[in-house]
Amino acid sequence: MERELFLFRIPPSLDQENFILDKIISRFPDLGDPLSYHVVHRSRYDVMTIQFESCKVVVKFDDKGEALASIVYRRRRREGAMER
């Protein structure tokens, strides 16, 4: 699996979820439109998972506006490989 990290800040008083979606889509336009996303709220930080056709993006962010996105690209299956 190939992984890429992307660190960014979220300005205060913005809708965090929409800002994160816009930031990821504008920074990585070749990913296309997200298929789905969801947010899990934790005590120290929140985690947003965004599913694209070619990858999954996991964004950890806190109330101070710091965000770290981890983009995990799927490996393409070899042609003719048996699926389990």
pTM above 0.95, yes or no: no
The tens digit of pLDDT for each residue in 34-67 reads 999 999 998 889 999 999 999 999 999 998 889 9
Of 79 and 24, more confident = 24
d(CA 53, CA 33): 8
pLDDT, residue 15, reads: 87
Domain boundaries, the chain: 2-73
* Residue 83 DSSP label: P
